[in-house]
């Protein structure tokens, strides 16, 4: 691990003012410290933001929730308002990591966690995400866990978060603050597909700090389900995950949200798939048709072709469970 300096600001403005191009904000450190130990990330300065007033969960005037960036994953998953109004988010968070990690990991840090690609973490191998222009070792290597959607010649890694998949389905909005002021970023626009610049995981600019995530009033609390399929029952990243939420009128679907994890460089969502469900009877035929749309254009590599069929089955199952009100 390379030497670095350490700062502990007492305000958001002070934290932003101390940021340099090679600085990193740190809170729980559950991903950043791993990256530093493996020499994947070599910041010259860590800015400890744990003393900033960003650890509250409060209702918004519109009836949604504002979640501070420093709220731990554990506190968020078990918060009474989240459990009652946004069970999809609670389910997704509890499907990830371990209790110890959830106690440390923060909402803002979860949004910013980087891919778990084997080659990204192995500093001895070429990786465009780690060192732009060096190549993608995963394309011709062991790519069982890698992307089937939205990938490029430069990168086939997937985003690892469970929380972000649920937030994508719920259409959360990320609040950030930087030297140019404050802005609000819809979840759909926060993470990037790799394109020719896979080293850029998100749309933040240098020095911007996540301050909160806002959930809209529409909660889908009666009909939602988070399904995570993985190699073992716990402490494993998703091969495929699905966040499904429905508005029901009897057996008829009035509205739908579907987001997938483990299949792309960002949580994967297509509004066309959701629109195809509106007005339909909640049955396997409708769910299968929506899955076809959501997975349109999927392409696999040597070891991950199984993900396409697995993804289709997972979408149908998650939607079926959501329609029944039978959360995982």
pLDDT tens digits in sequence order for the chain, 328 residues long: 689 999 999 999 999 999 999 999 999 999 999 999 999 999 999 999 999 999 999 999 999 999 999 999 999 999 999 999 999 999 999 999 999 999 999 999 999 999 999 999 999 999 999 999 999 999 999 999 999 999 999 999 999 999 999 999 999 999 999 999 999 999 999 999 999 999 999 999 999 999 999 999 987 999 999 999 999 988 899 999 999 999 999 999 999 999 999 999 999 999 999 999 999 999 999 999 999 999 999 999 999 999 999 999 999 999 999 999 965 5
Tokens for 298, please give them.
Answer: 């999927």
Task: Please give the Cα distance from 295 to 310 (Å, whole number).
Answer: 11
Say if pTM beats, i.e. exceeds, 0.95. yes
State whether CATH 3.20.20.140 applies to domain 5-50: no
Q: Whose CA is closest to 295, among 273, 275, 274?
A: 273
Phi, psi of 165 (to 5 degrees): -65, -45
Burial of 58: CB neighbours in 10 Å, binned 0-12, 13-18, 19+ = exposed
**Spatial contact of 320 and 328, defined as CB atoms under 8 Å apart:** no
Q: Do domains 5-50 and 224-324 have the same CATH topology?
A: no
Q: Where are the domains of the chain?
A: 5-50, 224-324
Angle at 126 between CA 124 and CA 129, to 5 degrees: 110
Please tell me the class of the 224-324 domain.
Answer: alpha beta
Cβ of 104: how many Cβ atoms within 10 Å? 15
78 and 37 Cβ atoms separated by less than 8 Å: no
């Amino acid at each position: 691990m390379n030497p670095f300096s350490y700062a502990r600001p007492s305000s958001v403005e002070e934290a932003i003012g101390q940021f340099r191009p090679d600085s990193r904000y740190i809170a729980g450190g559950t991903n950043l410290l791993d990256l530093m130990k493996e020499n994947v990330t070599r910041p010259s300065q860590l800015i400890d933001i744990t003393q900033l007033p960003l650890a509250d969960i409060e209702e918004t005037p519109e009836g949604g929730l504002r979640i501070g960036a420093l709220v731990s994953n554990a506190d968020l998953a078990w918060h009474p308002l989240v459990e009652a109004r946004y069970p999809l988010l609670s389910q997704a968070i509890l499907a990830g990591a371990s209790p110890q990690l959830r106690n440390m990991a923060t909402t803002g840090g979860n949004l910013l966690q980087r891919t778990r690609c084997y080659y990204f973490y192995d500093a001895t191998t070429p990786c465009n995400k780690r060192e732009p222009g060096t190549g993608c070792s995963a394309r011709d290597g062991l790519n069982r866990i890698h992307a089937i959607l939205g990938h490029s010649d430069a990168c086939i890694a997937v985003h690892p978060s469970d929380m972000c998949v649920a937030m994508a389905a719920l259409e959360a909005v990320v609040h950030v603050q930087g030297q140019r002021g404050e802005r609000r970023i819809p979840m759909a626009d926060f993470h990037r597909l790799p394109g020719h610049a896979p080293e850029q995981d998100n749309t933040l600019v240098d020095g911007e700090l996540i301050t909160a995530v806002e959930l809209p009033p529409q909660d889908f609390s009666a009909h939602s389900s988070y399904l995570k399929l993985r190699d073992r029952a716990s402490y494993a990243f998703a091969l495929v995950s699905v966040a499904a939420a429905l508005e029901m009128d009897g057996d008829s679907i009035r509205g739908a949200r579907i987001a997938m994890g483990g299949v792309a460089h960002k949580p994967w969502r297509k509004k066309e798939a959701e629109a195809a469900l509106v007005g339909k009877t909640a049955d396997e035929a409708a769910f299968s048709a929506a899955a076809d749309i959501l997975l349109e254009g999927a392409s696999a590599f040597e070891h991950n072709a199984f993900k396409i069929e697995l993804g289709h089955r997972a979408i149908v199952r998650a939607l079926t469970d959501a329609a029944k009100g039978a959360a995982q």
